[in-house]
Structure formats: structure tokens, C-alpha cells
Structure 1
């Protein structure tokens, strides 16, 4: 028995020795055809190389990388290659050591694996010794220097979709960071903790934290201190950057030090670093995982879909089941209880104080569409009235009818004076933030298409509401005259006027479903023709690139989920009407974009938060 153990030990030692022989050890071949190898440099240290397929050559001669902070004037970048690389059936174990100040050694232990199109590393850093300051470690790869910054389209779900033009000047995925050739983002700002690079030849690489934690502290979340060193910080950051005359670098690091631009929307502010570190202390826990997915033959829209769905499958978020019928009943009861009636007019207040009985300053502001949803609320009450024939349901029905009648009466003339009014007077809102209820394209067409659906549903049950239809048709007849030669519609008009207040046509998807319905109701094709021209405009200018912008009225021309959802609805309405496959394909592209905004990992509250104050 002892002899067998000795023989087994010799065999294992021999396999480790073989891993050190030669200058290359292959981890394996990716589905793309690229080979992942560990390559020994002349110094004897080992680095990693991924090459041999459509993607640019990717490498890192010094995979063990640290940033060590002592003071703002003393920040050190330390890096080393692996001293040993040992291959086993499960992958490759690699070890590196980095000395600091003669009193501290960072022992970096990486276990690399390969599965299909994904290369993964499980990292653990052991700190031997103690020193002042803090550190973070990173797993960073570099792209072939022949590839320039502008040769790549970058994806960070919720923050960046290729073109930064519509992401805001100072946002993490905005134009200033693009001009600085630096996108670095905390993972707790991302719906999925991933960052992707899409190359012009259809190749792509996506970085993912497959086991995110996200731990932080109350003080840290305020971002008031530029430097914090705390072992409790367990959130990382991802991104890509390119230094002067250097290659593009990308990867993951923990804790999540980031840089950006101070100042809010329209405000002044320069570049700012938010530095986060772990203490340089014996026994500090510092470990994480990073995965790299390699794609091929993918457009940028494909990368958005495939990267996010890979993250979904990897993170496997749980499905939380609820009693939908119970929730619908509870919420509609709550909704009808908020309806207010003043001098015979009924509406849903724009805002309700949930903490006290005090009425907010804009309690009597009423708005349709977007966040006001006055007509949409009425529609829900009508639906519940159809379900429930008791006194409860009939009260909801009467409330819904009163809301619609009051809204039409207050906004009876076209061009519209606004998309909302003052419940206290029945006239235009004259208080603060009048622009909230201005004649927005989205607010009007969103509310009116819901009203048209209610009109159809009521008519099918023998209930006629010609005043609903006439109000909508009067507006739509005016609206198609506002369509421009390129198919677009303005975003907003001046009250009671055809004079344009905001000319941008980015939201021209908004009226499409309403226009389609009007052709179906009247038999006149001119409305659908206008819808097709509008939909073609937004697709040709933005949708074909996987960019959907302008959904939120108060943040114009910004990439947002609402734009994707509204575009999807527009394209589906045209598919239902024309049966042309291209509209279904475009709806799928919009849906792929919109789903990438769904949060699929649990971002925890700060570890030291008082739950009673959350």
C-alpha cells in the first residue's frame, strides 16, 4: 500500500514538472477556435495569451496586478507574472507573489478553467504582513495594439450601448469618459455585472462577475470620501480603457475603484476618482471570480442579447412567485382610494404623500401618459369594474368614467393646451414645473392609445363613447400634419399651438400604435402610412445600431429602457397590422435591449445600515 502511495506521489510530481517544461502550456480551445495558453517569458514568469480566431489577439504577460494606495501622491501599480503554472484535469493553477515595502508579500492564487466559449478565473489573494494604506487586485487583459479605441463598441447594461452620444456628458457611459478613453463602472450600477467589447469583424469579449456580492457601508455609498479602505467592501468594478500609446485594456477589479466626472446634469465638474481598497493586513479576505465569454459572428445587437442572457443563465436569478389576483385586487383598491374629486371633476393626483396626510405642492396636478398615467389609471378601474359586478367594482367603473370625462373636458381643444391640467380649477396648470404637463408627444399619444383600447373594449360590450373617439381623432388628425418629410415628429409643442418647442425626432416611435389603431377604426390608410414612416425613421437612425433613446420626457435624448419598450410596442403594432416579418424582427431587437435593463442580481443594503431608516 505504501509503495502505491509513493508511486502516485511521483506521478503527480511528474505531471507538475511537465507543466513547467517548455514555454507554453495550453488550457484548451474555445468554441471560437482560439487557443488559451500560458506562455513563459524570458524572465521565467508566465503570462496568458488567447489567440487564433477572429477576435484580436488578447494577452496579459503579468496577470497578477495590484494597486497599492498610501497617499494621493503615492499610488503604486504593481504587477507580476506567475511563478508556477500547473495543469490538472480541472484547469490550471497559477501562483504569483508581489512584494511591497520589504515587509509585505501578496500571494496571488489563480485557478483558471475553460468551458465552451468561456474562460474563468477564481482568484484569492493572501496578504502576508501588515502595512499602512490599502490595495485592490485586478484581472485585466490587453487587446492587440493594432485595435484602436474607436474600433470597438462597448456595452455596459443600463449605462452604455455602443454609442455614448445619448448617455449624457458626465455619466459613466457618457461622452466625456469616451473622449478620455476610459469606461470604469461599479458593478452595483449595472443590471448585470458585465462589460463587453464588440469588434468590427463580429468578434466580442464579455467580462462577467459570476458571483457578485456587492457589500458596502452607509458611509461609502454617500461617495463623499474620495478614499476609503475597508475590508467590508465586496463590490467590484468593470470596464475598459486605453492609456496614451498603449493597448486597450479591460477586466475586473475589487474593491471597485472608479473614475468619472463630478457635477449633475448641466453642471460644472472635472474628473474625479473614487478610490476603494482593502487594508494591507494579515488575514484580510480578498477573493472573487471573473469569467470571459468570447463570441463570434455577432452584431452589436447580438452582443447585447447574448451577453445579457449568458449573465442570466450564469447568475440564475430566482423567480419569485406572487398571488397575482390578490395583488391586483389590493392595488386597485388602493388606486381608487386615491382618486380626488373637486367641483365635479375627478382625477388621480400627480403625487401622494405616503408618510403623512399633508398634501404635496402639486397634489392637484393631473397628467396623462408617462408618469402621470391619469387615463391609464382610469382604464385599470374600468377593467376591474368589468371583472367585479359588486358595488366595489361598480364604484371603480364610475370613478374611471369620471376621470376620463374630466380629462377630455379640461383638454377639449386641439392643439392641446397641455397633457394635463389643474384639478382645482379645471384649467391649465399654472404652478411650478408647467413643462411636466406640456403638450408632449409621448404623454398625449400614450394616454390616447390606452383610451382607444378602452373604447374598443367598451364598444364590444355595447357601450358607446363617441366623445372618446372624437377627442382622439381630432388630435390625431392634427398630429399627422405635424409629421416632417423624414417621417419624424417633434418631441413637444408650445401650449395650444402648432409651434414646436422641442424639435428632436428621437421619440417618433410614440404615436405609432395610436396611428395604426386609427386606421383600423376609420378604414383610412393615411394614419398607418404615417406610422410606418415614423417607425422607419427611428429604426434607420438608431434601432439598427441597437440604440433606443428618448423615452423619459424630462431627460431628452437619453438612452433608456422606456425607449426600448415603447419601440417594441410600436413595431409589434405594425407587425400585427401588416404581418411583415421585419417589424417582428425589429420588435425583438427592441425587446433584447429592454430586457438588458432588468436587474438580475441582488444588490444588498449597506452592511451597517439601520433597516428602520431605509
Structure 2
């Protein structure tokens, strides 16, 4: 920031008084600055806060050694929070990295930790190869990993939480030639760091600028790399201001910690809808190109080729997937419904062919879906997942219900689906959970219950469609399990198929599952399920970005003007954003009305508008080879799935599920109409 802007900011902070609950005093704060001369190791200068009188500034930060810069600080009381603004002025050209630590007063062993969209509790569901307490009890990370640039520490004993959030304009990013060690930025960045540290048994909030990551940086799925510390040039005579807000509040448990912190993040950042030139009708018309271009009819089951594709060509592959990530059956239903609405016989013919061929050739010997088939490689996945099976049944119940409304019956399909649902009942554990993975003989491959809520949806739908109370009873048992093991414990895990960790989809599915049961119950029972849907919704919301990550020139997503607000991070293991939303916007809108919570509906609109930004259309393909093949692995931070890194997609993607997700987002009220 230029000096004249700096002085304006200083004058705005003149006369502020250090009052409030947060004891931001020199004895509770430690600060340091690291300075680097190119070609030499950086030197760290511990800083001491000296109180000033009759000055524009409240504190000067000084070192025992001479430094080529000056550092001043003001602390402003703002709505019960403390805003800390640091002013750094260079006396000569200097490369710097500044940081602070604040004592929370909480014992580290009593604490749970929260960094939105990245860190929950202690990340102990995650493997040691990903950021977790398995590797260290202290972590500093770059802000663009997080759905809000914030760290919160929750003291489980004293029921208090303290957080730090960055309050600045995020409009710059710079490239580096290295991703570990001491790196000099090629220009200016807006990205700092945040995190928590265990210092002598006490929990500390840590933050600074520009970014650094300690003890490891997470560069790829299950690959921790050496730490990184970035240094930005501050030329002689130039100044920069940096602002953070410190907040402390009470919370009964970790669930309330996440809720109150999400509300605070939302109110602080106030994300607005993204303006795009596309109407829902236009988006569906563009996405329908996927139904045409990806249709494969030379295999025993016809399908939409939507997995293991290359962004550079979008050529069909030999892989047919019923559920995630291909979502062939849901795409077929969407294509059928849309095709009849728009009188598109090409779409309806292909969709009906998919349903017919899956009825003939799409099942295992005992009657489960063949979830994943590689036709050219002559391979059928023998291990089933409750998630894919459930997503297949979900799609088919939508299809059967739609067909019944059109006066068309499918007795053979109904028999197949009832047979699968009855096998679901046999798979369900006494505690109400479903095993994550299993075989045709019902032997269990993965007993984890994290994917249980995916089964709730088709069970509730089947109760409605077949009028069979057994399915409703089973669905309620799943919610008993979810309430006991996930929702009340604030422990949402292992719903994704390719990761074992804390993830967005477990909370999103749990909230949606409770919403489904709320739709078919009344009175106190409905109120109970609605409350569970709301509690889980805050965890799902916590994965969605409330701010816009900056990109450097030359990083495609930045050049396209992508606004990350409204996009969701995936999991601790898979640190990228995507458009996984499906019916969650409906859940948020329903909860908004139920609880008169405007934030839910407003943020649902942010999600709905923002997720359509990368629509590949003629003349603006957004890095994708074909119109309507919506991108998947959107890499927004220093992490990649194998190729390309921040600002780009991975070279392999799965548009089958992205098209299905956006289609449901653009088809509001689907579940309520079904019931």
C-alpha cells in the first residue's frame, strides 16, 4: 500500500482504545519478522511491543538488533472484537515475512481446532500422510487452503473459543519457482498464513504475512513436503498494512463452535452472488451437450462416458459408473425429463436405452448394481459401496416416479429395485449404520459407517413410492446412528469413496438425510429431524468459500476471473474446490424458512450463482475441450491432484458427476415434489 493510503488508514484508527474481553496486551503477544537477502538464509528478528503515547500508533515493534524497516501497530475495539493492524515501512529494499502469536490461555491438550474446509477437531480421521495430529500438534497453513482465512481454537473444558481472521483486500497473487524452503515471490501476494501452535503446553493462535507452512506443506494427495516460507519485496520508502481480527466467544461444544464461527465468517465477509450471463435454462441447454456427446451405445449397458476423461480432448472412455463419480443413471433421468420437456427425441431415446440396457445387463449375480465396469479392459468392480448403490437406487426411484406420473409402468424395474432395497435391509447393522464397502456375499470390506446417510435418501423415497413402512423404519435407524455417531460428536468422515478423512460430503449427506426424514414426518418428530439437518448443515457450509482466492496472472482460473466464493473444498485429503452441491441448496432454503435464518437462503444463492462460472460454451470453453463438459478438479491453492497445480485443473476429470450436481442445483424443489 502506498504511503498516502497508509496515513489515511492510520488517521482512521487514531484514538482507539484497548477495551473488551480479549486481553490483547504485550505480555500475551509475541511477534517476529524474518528478513532475507537473496542467496542467503533468512534472519529472524524477535519483536517487542512498546507502548506509545501521543502518537498515531499505539505500539512500535522493535528488535534488539537494527532493522531496515519500521513496524507499528494499532489495536481497535470493533463490536467486541479486536482488530490488529500492522504497518510496515521499508527503510531500504527488503524481503520480509512477518508473524504474530497470541496466547489463548487454553491448555493445548484440552483444545479442538478448526480451520474451515481443512481442519476439524484434530484431523485424526485423516491418515498421517495428510495434515493431522498424527504428524504434529502445531500447524500453520497458507490462507487460500481455507474456505475462510481463519483459525479457531475451542477449549473443551472452559467452553470458550478464540479465533483470528484476516481482514484485508485479497486481490494479488505471485508465482514462485519453488514450493518448499525459503522462497522469494515474483511479485505481490495477498495470501498470508494462519494456524495454531503448542507452546509449552498452551494453545497459541498464529498468523502472519506472506504465507508460510509449518511443519509441512501439503502439495499433493497424501504427500507432505518440507515446510515453505515466502518472502515479499518491500522497496525502500514503501509501506504495507495488514489487518487481523481477534474474537473470543462461548460455545457449548465443538458443533456450536463451528456454527457460531461460520455465522461470524459469513457476517464478516458478507459474500455476494456472482453475476454471470447465464440463466438456468441457458445452463441446462449447454449442459445437455454432455448427454449427447458422451453417450456410448456399443457396450452391454449404454452409458454416458463421464469419468477418467482428459480435459484436453474429452474423448469417451470405457468406464461406466452407476453412481459417483459417473452418475450415469441420474444423468439419464435428467436427460429423459429434460428431453421430454424440450421435445428432444435424441435425449429421450438415449436415456431410455440406458435404462433398458441396465435392466438387462447392469446387475451382479445377486442383484446389486455393477457399479463400475471397464468394458475394454473386461473388468467389473466386485466390491460394492453403499454410496454408489444408494445413488443408483435414488436415480431409479426418481425415474420410476416420473414414469408413473406419465402413465408408464416398469414392473421389472420395480422388482429389481425392491430386491436391492431388501438387500439393504439385510446389510444394515444393529446400530443403524451401513458398511461403506461390501461384496455380493454380504461380506464386509470396509465397516466404516461414514457413508450411511447416502442410504437414507433412497430408503425414504422407497417408503413413499412403494408404501412400505420397513424402508421408513430403516431410514429412521440410519438417523439414529448419524445423530449418535456423527452429528452429536461433530465427526463427519469417510463419505467420499477415495479418501479416509474428514470430508464435506459426510456432513452434506447427513444434513440432506435428516431433511428427507423431516419431509415425511410431522410434529415433534419432524422438528427433531429438522434440528439435526440444521446442525449438520453448518459443517457442510463450513467447507464452502466465503471469500475470493486471488490468482496470479498466467494461472488460468485467475485469467478467467473465477470467484471462489460459493465453491466447496472437498476433504482434508483432496484439497481442491468443486461443484458438489446436488440438493444442498434446497436443504438450505428449507431450513431458512423453517428457522427464519436468512443467511442460509442468501448463501444458497451465492452457491447457485457462483458454481456456474466455468460453464464451457462455444468461444469460452474455460479450459475444457467440449461444450457442456463441466470441469471437476478445480485447483485453487498450492496443491494438485497430479498435474498442473494452482489456477488450473487436473488433466483427468469426471464431468459425469459435475453435470449431475449442477442439474439438481438448477432443478429446485425436486425432493419436496417427490414427497
- Superposed, 1:319-338 pairs within 5 Å as 319-321=273-275, 322-338=278-294
- Per the alignment, residue 425 of structure 2 pairs with 480
How far apart are 1:74 and its partner, in Å?
6.2
How far apart are 1:239 and its partner, in Å?
0.7
Q: Confirm or deny: 8 A CA contact 2:193 2:207 kept in the other structure.
A: yes
With over 3 angstroms needed to count, the CA separation of the structure-2 counterparts of 1:399 and 1:37, relative to structure 1, is closer
How far apart are 1:99 and its partner, in Å?
4.6
Q: Confirm or deny: 8 A CA contact 1:492 1:503 kept in the other structure.
A: yes
Q: Give secondary structure in 1 for the equivalent of 2:468.
A: coil
- Per the alignment, residue 405 of structure 1 pairs with 356
- Per the alignment, residue 184 of structure 1 pairs with 140
Q: Give secondary structure in 1 for the equivalent of 2:62.
A: strand
**1:489-530 alpha-carbon deviations (Å, 9 max, x no partner):** 211123x33222222222111211212222333333222222
Task: Return the match for 2:34 from 67, 75, 80.
Answer: 67
Task: Return the match for 1:215 from 172, 176, 180.
Answer: 172
How far apart are 1:539 and its partner, in Å?
2.3
Distance in 2 (alpha carbons) for counterparts of 1:229 and 1:345: 52
- Per the alignment, residue 521 of structure 2 pairs with 578
- Superposed, 1:514-553 pairs within 5 Å as 514-553=458-497
Q: Give secondary structure in 1 for the equivalent of 2:550.
A: coil
- Per the alignment, residue 175 of structure 1 pairs with 133
Task: Return the match for 2:159 from 191, 198, 202.
Answer: 202
How far apart are 1:476 and its partner, in Å?
1.1
- Per the alignment, residue 3 of structure 1 pairs with none
- Per the alignment, residue 148 of structure 1 pairs with 107
Unmatched segments (≥5 aa) in structure 2: 1-13, 561-622, 624-647, 649-675
Task: Return the match for 2:214 from 259, 269, 294.
Answer: 259
With over 3 angstroms needed to count, the CA separation of the structure-2 counterparts of 1:443 and 1:149, relative to structure 1, is same
Pairing 1:250–2:195 present? no
Q: Confirm or deny: 8 A CA contact 2:152 2:161 kept in the other structure.
A: yes
With over 3 angstroms needed to count, the CA separation of the structure-2 counterparts of 1:262 and 1:93, relative to structure 1, is closer
With over 3 angstroms needed to count, the CA separation of the structure-2 counterparts of 1:423 and 1:407, relative to structure 1, is farther
Q: Give secondary structure in 2 for the equivalent of 1:578.
A: coil
With over 3 angstroms needed to count, the CA separation of the structure-2 counterparts of 1:539 and 1:466, relative to structure 1, is same
Pairing 1:418–2:370 present? yes
How far apart are 1:101 and its partner, in Å?
5.2
How far apart are 1:475 and its partner, in Å?
0.8
Distance in 2 (alpha carbons) for counterparts of 1:311 and 1:231: 29
With over 3 angstroms needed to count, the CA separation of the structure-2 counterparts of 1:317 and 1:86, relative to structure 1, is farther
- Per the alignment, residue 599 of structure 1 pairs with 545
Task: Return the match for 2:338 from 384, 387, 399.
Answer: 384
Q: Confirm or deny: 8 A CA contact 1:342 1:423 kept in the other structure.
A: no
- Per the alignment, residue 627 of structure 2 pairs with none
Distance in 2 (alpha carbons) for counterparts of 1:554 and 1:583: 29
Task: Give the number of the structure whose alpha-carbon radius of gyration is greater.
Answer: 1
With over 3 angstroms needed to count, the CA separation of the structure-2 counterparts of 1:499 and 1:604, relative to structure 1, is same
Q: Give secondary structure in 1 for the equivalent of 2:60.
A: strand
- Per the alignment, residue 253 of structure 2 pairs with 299
Distance in 1 (alpha carbons) for counterparts of 2:494 and 2:51: 52
Moved more, 113-122 or 517-526: 517-526
Task: Return the match for 2:50 from 82, 103, 111.
Answer: 82
**1:145-204 alpha-carbon deviations (Å, 9 max, x no partner):** xx32121111111111114112332333x1234xx3202111011111111111223321
Q: Give secondary structure in 1 for the equivalent of 2:454.
A: coil
How far apart are 1:353 and its partner, in Å?
3.9
How far apart are 1:37 and its partner, in Å?
6.3
Distance in 1 (alpha carbons) for counterparts of 2:185 and 2:466: 67
How far apart are 1:250 and its partner, in Å?
0.7
- Per the alignment, residue 52 of structure 1 pairs with none
Q: Confirm or deny: 8 A CA contact 1:550 1:560 kept in the other structure.
A: yes
Distance in 1 (alpha carbons) for counterparts of 2:40 and 2:448: 44
Q: Confirm or deny: 8 A CA contact 1:120 1:291 kept in the other structure.
A: yes
Distance in 1 (alpha carbons) for counterparts of 2:171 and 2:448: 39
With over 3 angstroms needed to count, the CA separation of the structure-2 counterparts of 1:448 and 1:212, relative to structure 1, is farther
Distance in 1 (alpha carbons) for counterparts of 2:299 and 2:171: 52
Distance in 1 (alpha carbons) for counterparts of 2:251 and 2:176: 45
How far apart are 1:303 and its partner, in Å?
2.2
**1:186-229 alpha-carbon deviations (Å, 9 max, x no partner):** 10111111111112233211211122526333335x61555335
Question: What is the Cα-based RMSD across aligned positions, in Å?
Answer: 3.0
TM-score by length of 1: 0.80
- Per the alignment, residue 508 of structure 1 pairs with 452
How many residue pairs get matched?
A: 538
Distance in 1 (alpha carbons) for counterparts of 2:218 and 2:152: 27
Distance in 1 (alpha carbons) for counterparts of 2:460 and 2:313: 44
Distance in 2 (alpha carbons) for counterparts of 1:27 and 1:209: 19
Pairing 1:27–2:14 present? no
Q: Confirm or deny: 8 A CA contact 2:192 2:209 kept in the other structure.
A: yes
TM-score by length of 2: 0.73
Distance in 2 (alpha carbons) for counterparts of 1:464 and 1:353: 39
With over 3 angstroms needed to count, the CA separation of the structure-2 counterparts of 1:560 and 1:475, relative to structure 1, is same
- Per the alignment, residue 84 of structure 2 pairs with 121
Distance in 1 (alpha carbons) for counterparts of 2:61 and 2:198: 26
How far apart are 1:100 and its partner, in Å?
7.1
How far apart are 1:596 and its partner, in Å?
1.4
Q: Give secondary structure in 1 for the equivalent of 2:532.
A: helix
Pairing 1:430–2:378 present? yes
How far apart are 1:323 and its partner, in Å?
1.1
Task: Return the match for 1:308 from 254, 259, 262.
Answer: 262
- Superposed, 1:479-498 pairs within 5 Å as 479-494=424-439, 496-498=440-442
How far apart are 1:459 and its partner, in Å?
0.8
Distance in 2 (alpha carbons) for counterparts of 1:468 and 1:341: 20
Distance in 2 (alpha carbons) for counterparts of 1:449 and 1:267: 32
How far apart are 1:75 and its partner, in Å?
4.1
- Superposed, 1:365-384 pairs within 5 Å as 365-384=319-338
- Superposed, 1:35-46 pairs within 5 Å as 38=25
Q: Confirm or deny: 8 A CA contact 1:214 1:236 kept in the other structure.
A: no
- Per the alignment, residue 562 of structure 1 pairs with 505
Q: Confirm or deny: 8 A CA contact 1:188 1:235 kept in the other structure.
A: yes
How far apart are 1:35 and its partner, in Å?
6.1
- Per the alignment, residue 11 of structure 1 pairs with none
- Per the alignment, residue 43 of structure 1 pairs with none
Unmatched segments (≥5 aa) in structure 1: 1-15, 20-24, 39-46, 49-58
Task: Return the match for 2:399 from 441, 450, 454.
Answer: 454
